[in-house]
């Protein structure tokens, strides 16, 4: 345990986390002035804003996605917080659910970003210092620093969410110009049961935006026109006031139904109702958009009630017992929208699969057991961090996101991940890629699903799975990066890693 004085430096300002709320409809058909010719706008590179599933699929052929996201700094505390909701679960194909971390860099512990990414999660951009209406340097600097100090390939950082959900038309223009694939900052603010709902499936901006039209100047009515660039709306939950009672991010922090105190039972009730409206309707995705700090039980000074934690798990338990429900990252969901195979073919759909990189050498590669003794500790006063890729001379800033490496004590410079080697196979000390053929790299850990499966529901809350290897709960060991510095007896870590390192999504294999 670190002394409390050091801990104090690691604490992000809690006020930062409570952002991204809406209080009523954010668009209307008049304000949107949206039109799109579906006979001209076709997948995979164009999709009209529509409440119906892509490619004309009927809802019964469509998986119900629960997109799980977290925002802000990545630290052991925030990883612990996410783990308490996801680590023990399994999707219908036996894979541990993956999520998206919209990462800002103040207080971020870079080595944990590497670990979280190598475990199969999506790392996305949330600016360097968490600012609204972000200047371009905040967006680009986040990419550059995450690539240099966390070893995340540029090609893997494809998404963005604006801090406070505060973006402008220019933010979107810059994202498209910088070759991001998608933004996920807009809100779907009207229930799916309302004829004017704005709960569109993800769509491209070939014909401008159709969400947030009442709130953001210079968008909608055809603007901004950014062909091939995707918007992934954030889908709100609604309490019993309907459109007047939206809950977008961290709904468990809100009072439900206009009450004056938080009531977890009431929150659970409306979350279930909104889920069911999606599930029984056009199956637009639903989202748990979280700031993990608010549900941390390990963060000094944060208090969260057990009832809230249990409520969130109860919601996911309940949802997972229904057929064809998948907990996914934004990137996985978007991959499906771009290539929407019916549920009968999901067993061969690679973005939902999981695999473990086969690396046992002691190299600093995002697999905690391998990193023992190899991390650099960068002792900056504002927020010290660890990295595999060498400490910079000064902390990264938007004006200088990739400072030269510090070699003042005679340390050897480390080699940063190149574009042609994937993170778990890159040895930053020797500067070599330890695997160059596609056959030796990953082990597929997913199970046959769909028509080949006994059961299309997920699991992990008990012994739901009737086939497969060890029961998910038994093999699960919480992962928060502490392993890399701890002194567990040798022999324990390899077993833990096999159990807890989850998936590499298919595109990672593809890019090798
Ligand atoms: C930072 O990462 C190191 C190495 O994984 C870990 O030991 C430490 O607990 C982490 N600290 C925080 C605050 O995340
Ligand atoms: C982020 O860190 C920078 C550099 O230390 C500092 O100037 C800025 O105030 C910090 N921002 C927040 C929101 O903590
Ligand atoms: C968005 O951010 C800018 C710059 O920080 C600020 O001036 C503006 O008030 C913010 N807008 C909203 C709606 O929060
Ligand atoms: C909390 O919500 C539940 C479900 O709506 C309700 O039955 C209960 O009375 C509420 N409790 C309080 C203290 O308001
Ligand atoms: C909350 O749950 C934890 C773990 O189950 C337990 O140790 C703790 O005592 C509980 N706290 C309260 C206030 O019930
Ligand atoms: C990656 O590119 C470098 C520089 O072009 C080259 O030397 C190296 O052999 C390549 N490595 C692989 C694994 O293709
Ligand atoms: C799938 O498994 C769950 C949990 O064991 C069970 O409740 C559900 O009825 C099963 N569904 C089918 C179609 O067998």
Alpha-carbon Rg for the chain, nearest whole angstrom, is: 22
Provide the pLDDT confidence category of residue 457 given band limits of 50, 70 and 90: low
pLDDT in tens, 23-50: 999 999 999 999 999 999 999 999 999 9
SS (H, E, C) 444-482: ECCCCCHHHCCCCCCECCCCCCCCCCCCHHHHCCCCCCH
Which residues, judged by CB distance below 6 Å to any ligand atom, belong to the binding site of ligand 1? 10, 75-76, 109, 111-112, 375, 386, 481-482, 484-485
Query: Sorting pLDDT into bands at 50, 70 and 90, what band is 307?
Result: very high
Task: Considering only residues 12 and 494, tell me which one the structure prediction assigns the higher pLDDT.
Answer: 12
24 in Cβ contact with 244 (< 8 Å): yes
Residue 248 to residue 429: CA distance in whole angstroms = 44
pLDDT at 458: 59
* Separation of first and last alpha carbons in the chain: 39
User: Any idea which residue has 């076709």 for tokens?
Assistant: 42
pLDDT reported for residue 339: 98
- List pLDDT tens digits, range 208-226: 999 999 999 999 999 999 9
- Atom 14 of ligand 6, nearest CA residue: 420
Question: Does CATH number 3.90.1170.20 belong to domain 4-37+57-345+352-357+453-477+486-511?
Answer: no
| Polymer length of the chain | 512
Number of H helices, E strands in the chain: 13, 19
Q: How far apart are CA 490 and CA 69, in angstroms?
A: 34
Q: What is the pLDDT of residue 4?
A: 35
DSSP code per residue over 170-182: HHHHHHHHTT--E
Contacts of 420 (CB under 8 A, 6+ apart): 433
Kindly state the average pLDDT of the residues 91-95: 87
How confident is residue 475, by pLDDT bands cut at 50, 70 and 90? very low
pLDDT band, residue 447 (cuts 50/70/90): low
Residue 129 alpha carbon to ligand 2 centre in Å? 6
Confidence of residue 505 (pLDDT cuts 50, 70, 90): very low
- Which tokens in the block code for residue 54? 């892509």
State which of 15, 130, 133, 187 you would mutate to test the pocket of ligand 3, scoring each by most atoms of that ligand within 8 A of its C-beta. Answer: 133
| Matching residue, tokens 């709100």 | 236
Band of pLDDT at residue 93, cut at 50, 70 and 90: confident
- The best mutation among 457, 464, 467 to test binding of ligand 7, ranked by most ligand atoms within 8 Å of the C-beta, falls on 457
| Ligand of minimum distance to the alpha carbon of 9 | 1
- Give the nearest ligand 6 atom to 436 CA: 13
Ligand nearest to the CA of 262: 4
Using CA positions, which residue lies closest to atom 8 of ligand 7? 321
**What Å distances lie between residue 338 and 156, 160, 205, 228, 332, CA to CA?**
17, 18, 14, 11, 10
> Taking 60 as the threshold, does the pLDDT of residue 456 lie above it?
no
Rounded Cα–Cα distance for residues 137 and 401 (Å): 9
Dist CA 315 CA 270 (whole Å): 10
The predicted pLDDT at position 406 comes to 96
Q: Span 114-141, mean pLDDT? A: 96
Residue 269 CB less than 6 A away from ligand 4? yes
Per-residue pLDDT of 324-365, as tens digits, reads: 999 999 999 999 999 999 998 887 899 999 888 888 889 999
Q: How far is Cα 274 from Cα 479, in angstroms, rounded to an integer?
A: 32
Residue 14's pLDDT band (cuts 50, 70, 90):
very low
Residue 94 confidence (pLDDT) above 90:
no
Q: What is the mean pLDDT of residues 283-306?
A: 94
Mutating to test ligand 6, I would choose from 153, 415, 418, 435 the residue with most ligand atoms within 8 A of its C-beta, which is 418
CB 341, CB 449: distance < 8 Å: no
Identify the residue whose C-alpha is closest to ligand 7 atom 10: 455
Protein residue whose Cα sits closest to atom 13 of ligand 7 = 455
Write down the pLDDT at residue 487. 30
436 lines ligand 6 (CB under 6 A): yes
Report the separation in Å between the CA atom of 274 and the middle of ligand 4, taken as the mean of its atom positions: 18
Would you say the C-alpha torsion 26, 318, 305, 501 has a positive or negative sign? negative
pLDDT at 15: 38
Report whether pLDDT(76) > 70.
yes
Average pLDDT, the chain: 85
Distance 264 CA to ligand 4 centre (A): 8
Distance from Cα 262 to the centre of ligand 4, integer Å: 10
Query: Do 24 and 13 contact (CB within 8 A), yes or no?
Result: no
pLDDT, position 347: 76
Q: Which residue has the higher pLDDT, 215 or 442?
A: 215
In this structure, the residue with its CA closest to atom 12 of ligand 7 is 455
Closest CA to 52 of 150, 246, 192: 192
Considering only the C-alpha atoms of the chain, give the largest distance between any 2 of them, rounded to a whole number of Å.
67
Phi-psi group of 54: left, alpha or beta (phi > 0 → left; psi -120 to 50 → alpha; rest → beta)? beta
For residue 213, the model assigns a pLDDT of 98
The ligand 1 atom nearest the CA atom of 10: 13
Ligand nearest to the CA of 313: 5
What pLDDT score was predicted for residue 19? 66
- Cβ of 350 below 6 Å from ligand 2: no
- Contact residues of ligand 7, CB 6 A cut-off: 321, 455, 457, 464
Cα 35 from Cα 49, distance rounded (Å): 9
Bridge partners (DSSP) of residue 326 are 65
Report the DSSP pairing between strands 246-247 and 237-238.
Answer: antiparallel
DSSP 8-state symbol, 265: H
Q: Provide, rounded to the nearest whole percent, the portion of the chain with pLDDT above 70.
A: 81
| Omega before 44 within 30 of 0, i.e. cis | yes
Report how far residue 442's alpha carbon sits from residue 82's, in angstroms, rounded to the nearest whole number: 25
Read off the pLDDT of residues 395-405 as tens digits, 9 standing for 90 and up. Answer: 999 999 999 99
Residues 6+ apart with CB under 8 A from 129: 104, 105, 106, 138, 397, 398
- Atom 8 of ligand 1 has which residue's CA nearest to it? 482
Q: Which residues contact 248 (CB under 8 A, 6 or more apart)?
A: 20, 21, 22, 187, 189, 234, 236, 237, 289
Name the closest ligand to CA 164. 3
pLDDT at 18 over 90: no
Residue 176 contacts residue 205 (beta carbons within 8 Å):
yes
Give DSSP secondary structure letters for 239-252.
-TTGGGSEE-BSGG
**pLDDT of 480 above 70:** no
């Amino acid at each position: 345990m670190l002394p409390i004085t050091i801990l104090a430096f690691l604490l992000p300002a809690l006020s930062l986390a409570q952002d991204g709320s809406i209080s009523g409809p954010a668009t209307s058909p008049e304000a949107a002035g949206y039109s799109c010719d579906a006979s001209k706008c076709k997948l995979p590179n164009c999709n009209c804003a529509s409440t119906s599933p892509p490619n004309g699929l009927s809802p019964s052929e469509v998986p119900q996605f629960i997109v799980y996201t977290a925002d802000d700094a990545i630290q052991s505390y925030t990883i612990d917080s996410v783990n308490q909701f996801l680590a023990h679960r399994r999707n219908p194909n036996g894979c541990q659910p993956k999520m998206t971390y919209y990462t800002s860099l103040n207080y971020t512990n870079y080595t944990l970003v590497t670990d979280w990414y190598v475990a199969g999660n999506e790392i996305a951009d949330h600016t360097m210092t968490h600012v609204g209406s972000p200047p371009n340097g905040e967006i680009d600097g986040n990419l550059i620093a995450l690539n240099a100090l966390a070893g995340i390939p540029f090609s893997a950082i494809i998404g963005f969410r604006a801090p406070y959900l505060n973006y402008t038309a220019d933010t979107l223009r810059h994202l498209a110009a910088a070759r991001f694939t998608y933004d996920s900052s807009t809100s779907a603010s009207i229930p799916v049961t309302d004829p004017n709902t704005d709960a569109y499936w993800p769509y491209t901006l070939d014909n401008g935006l159709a969400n947030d039209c009442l709130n953001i100047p210079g968008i909608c009515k055809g603007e901004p026109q950014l062909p091939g660039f995707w918007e992934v709306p954030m889908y709100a939950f609604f309490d019993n006031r309907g459109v007047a009672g939206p809950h977008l991010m961290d709904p468990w922090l809100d009072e439900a139904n206009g009450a004056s105190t938080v009531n977890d039972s009431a929150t659970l009730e409306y979350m279930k109702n909104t889920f069911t409206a999606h599930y029984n309707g056009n199956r637009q995705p639903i989202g748990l958009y979280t700031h993990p700090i608010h549900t941390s039980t390990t963060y000094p000074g944060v208090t969260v009630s057990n009832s809230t934690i249990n409520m969130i798990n109860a919601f996911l338990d309940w949802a997972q017992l229904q057929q064809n429900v998948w907990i996914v990252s934004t990137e996985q969901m978007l991959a499906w929208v771009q290539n929407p195979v019916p549920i009968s073919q999901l067993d061969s759909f690679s973005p939902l699969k999981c695999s473990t990189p086969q690396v046992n050498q002691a190299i600093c590669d995002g697999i905690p057991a391998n990193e023992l003794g190899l991390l650099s500790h960068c002792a900056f006063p504002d927020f010290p961090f660890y990295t595999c890729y060498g400490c910079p001379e000064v902390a990264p800033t938007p004006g200088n996101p990739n400072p030269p490496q510090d070699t003042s004590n005679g340390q050897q410079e480390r080699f940063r991940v190149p574009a042609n080697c994937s993170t778990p196979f890159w040895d930053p000390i020797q500067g070599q890629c330890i695997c160059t053929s596609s056959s030796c790299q990953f082990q597929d850990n997913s199970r046959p699903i769909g028509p080949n499966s006994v059961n299309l529901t997920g699991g992990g809350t008990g012994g739901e799975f009737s086939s497969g290897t060890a029961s998910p709960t038994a093999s699960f060991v919480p992962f928060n990066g502490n392993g890399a510095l701890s002194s567990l007896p040798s022999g324990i870590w390899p077993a833990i890693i096999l159990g807890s390192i989850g998936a590499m999504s298919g595109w990672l294999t593809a890019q090798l």
